[in-house]
Structure 1
Amino acid sequence: MDGTLDHVMLRVENLDESLEWYQEHLDYEEKDRHDGDGFTIVYLGPEEMHEEGAMLELTHNEGESDLEVGDAWGHIAVRVPEGELEDYYDQLMDEGVDDYRDPESCGGRYAFVKDPDGHEVEIVQRDPEEGALWSLDHTMIRVEDADDALGFWTRKFEYEHAGRWESDTFANYFMKPEDAAPEAMSVELTYNYDGRSYDMGDAWGHLCVRVDDLGDDWDQLMVREADEYRDPESNDDMYAFTKDQDGHEIELLERDPDADSLFPF
């Protein structure tokens, strides 16, 4: 099982405000929406999304406020063309986005802004052939044991290293399926050497892996001793959830390419 990363879910307090932010500043468009009993889910992404590109899922629960981002969740990263980081950062500043970490403070290699709920959005430079402008490049989560985290993604999901960066105090490991398209999103595992622990918070939702056969792939996860958090049967065989060693939720979802909706409801 080596399913590609389908989306990353973040919870937001004001859905209209969040939608406006991503649509105005990142040129995202609404791909699909589901209005449930007391909640709304919206899929977003660039207009020219690659078939293996990942979407952003914004979830709003009625009456929910004071969401805590926590520090186990790091950020999402979006792509701009190589050599144009400062231009696009200046564009965001001109549009009124908060100045969080500018390119100069990040050595000219990347930059960070925040969305209305305080979710960090990294801006990274990529070859234009590696994904549409503002497309999702990676999602960063923090882990308490690098060996356990790497083993989880390697053994459970058959992911492989797509890159790594190690410093004196921390290391970043990028994981994605073998032979994944350059446009596909990766998961960045950040390990700090000081042995700290993390708070998950409630504004961070989950990662989603798109699989070929939900039942078969779930059974394979169980053979590999993954956490049986929410099995397919408990979700009417539409999706399922496991958790990694740190408690990060990972959804499994099987999509019907001919369906009218992106949602399995």
Structure 2
Amino acid sequence: MSGVLDHTMMRVEDLDASLDWYTTHLDYEEKGRWEADTFTNVYLGPEDLHEEGAVLELTYNHDDRSYEMGDAWGHIAVRVPEGELESSYQQLMDEGVEDYRDPESCDYNYAFVKDPDGHEVEIVKRDPDQGAKWSLDHTMMRVEDADEALGFWTRKFEYEHTSRWESDSFANYFVKPEGAADEAMAVELTYNYDGRTYDMGDAWGHVAVRADDLHDYWETLMEREAEDYRDPESCDDMYAFTKDPDGHEIEIVEPSD
């Protein structure tokens, strides 16, 4: 399905340690790998990943660089069935995962852990029909203008605003493709009311959107005045990149077997 989110990319400093963390604690398996001269991309997800489910892309650069987390990206969120939040969190604690924000501190609505590189991973309760345990539920990014960010995703990508959570100091808005399966990943847009700005950092890379036809999809984005960041030709006609108003990179990919 064109428009569904395909993956979230994050950069890691020790590929073996990151692979061990995600395969051991979240029961992920390797879905694919791309080896280049200077970097390696590994794609991970649950064994029973839905056809519209998103995977996690770990990018390892071979030059031993380190990364700055920044604060423009927030977290990825993974699903656990209703009633299993506390037991799932305790399982991670028993396995030696960092105790970052336990369910009690989050009013038993969710919890947070961190991977070896410091990327935050939220644990959220979902109906079992909404996807396999530990599958990606959403990726959170912070935005400086909520109206502009919502307009970008609804106009450029034809996403629909599926839910919101507004508090005294911030609001969370969730968007995903119209007609996408419950198992598909969403984007969470977090807007803080205090007018703060954000640092992009480089520990997070991008989210990726699937296109049935890369060039047709790119042409539509250009007609809708999306930013021409890296067009298909500059990427050997394998993918392309645009950016949202806050500078978050969005890859357009045409999946293959």
- 1:109 maps to what in 2? 109
Contact 1:113–1:120 under 8 Å retained in 2 = yes
- The alpha carbon displacement at 1:64 in A equals 3.4
Task: Give the secondary-structure state (helix, strand or coil) at the position aligned to 1:17.
Answer: helix
- The alpha carbon displacement at 1:66 in A equals 2.5
TM-score by length of 2: 0.99
- 1:122 maps to what in 2? 122
Question: How far apart are the structure 2 equivalents of 1:39 and 1:65?
Answer: 11
Q: CA RMSD in A?
A: 0.9
- 2:87 maps to what in 1? 87
Task: Give the secondary-structure state (helix, strand or coil) at the position aligned to 1:222.
Answer: helix
Contact 2:2–2:212 under 8 Å retained in 1 = no
Contact 1:2–1:178 under 8 Å retained in 2 = no
Question: How far apart are the structure 2 equivalents of 1:193 and 1:201?
Answer: 22
Percentage identity across aligned positions?
75
Question: How far apart are the structure 1 equivalents of 2:64 and 2:7?
Answer: 22
What is the 5 A alignment of 1:184-203?
184-203=184-203
Contact 2:156–2:226 under 8 Å retained in 1 = yes
- 1:228 maps to what in 2? 228
Task: Give the secondary-structure state (helix, strand or coil) at the position aligned to 2:17.
Answer: helix
Question: How far apart are the structure 2 equivalents of 1:200 and 1:27?
Answer: 29
Question: How far apart are the structure 2 equivalents of 1:70 and 1:192?
Answer: 16
- The alpha carbon displacement at 1:182 in A equals 0.3
Q: Which aligned runs of 4 or more in structure 1 are off by greater than 3 angstroms?
A: none
Question: How far apart are the structure 1 equivalents of 2:63 and 2:17?
Answer: 15
Contact 1:207–1:250 under 8 Å retained in 2 = yes
- 1:96 maps to what in 2? 96
Task: Give the secondary-structure state (helix, strand or coil) at the position aligned to 2:200.
Answer: coil
* AA at the equivalent of 1:147: D
- The alpha carbon displacement at 1:62 in A equals 1.0
Task: Give the secondary-structure state (helix, strand or coil) at the position aligned to 1:86.
Answer: helix
Task: Give the secondary-structure state (helix, strand or coil) at the position aligned to 1:23.
Answer: helix
Gaps of 5+ in 1: 260-265
Question: How far apart are the structure 2 equivalents of 1:150 and 1:32?
Answer: 32
Question: How far apart are the structure 1 equivalents of 2:64 and 2:170?
Answer: 34
More deviation, 192-201/1-10: 1-10
* AA at the equivalent of 2:47: E
- 1:237 maps to what in 2? 237
TM-score by length of 1: 0.96
Question: How far apart are the structure 2 equivalents of 1:166 and 1:205?
Answer: 27
Question: How far apart are the structure 1 equivalents of 2:92 and 2:67?
Answer: 25
Question: How far apart are the structure 1 equivalents of 2:231 and 2:68?
Answer: 27
Deviation readout 1:4-23 (Å, 9 max, x if unpaired): 00000000000000000000
- 1:29 maps to what in 2? 29
- 2:146 maps to what in 1? 146
Question: How far apart are the structure 2 equivalents of 1:34 and 1:239?
Answer: 14
Question: How far apart are the structure 1 equivalents of 2:236 and 2:66?
Answer: 31
Deviation readout 1:172-221 (Å, 9 max, x if unpaired): 00000111100000000000000000000010100000011111110111
Task: Give the secondary-structure state (helix, strand or coil) at the position aligned to 2:231.
Answer: coil
Contact 1:173–1:190 under 8 Å retained in 2 = yes
Deviation readout 1:71-110 (Å, 9 max, x if unpaired): 0010000000101100000000000001000000000000
Q: What is the count of residue pairs matched by the alignment? A: 257
Contact 1:164–1:174 under 8 Å retained in 2 = yes
- The alpha carbon displacement at 1:2 in A equals 5.3
* AA at the equivalent of 1:113: V
Contact 1:2–1:157 under 8 Å retained in 2 = no
- 1:263 maps to what in 2? none
- 1:262 maps to what in 2? none
Deviation readout 1:33-53 (Å, 9 max, x if unpaired): 111011000000000000000
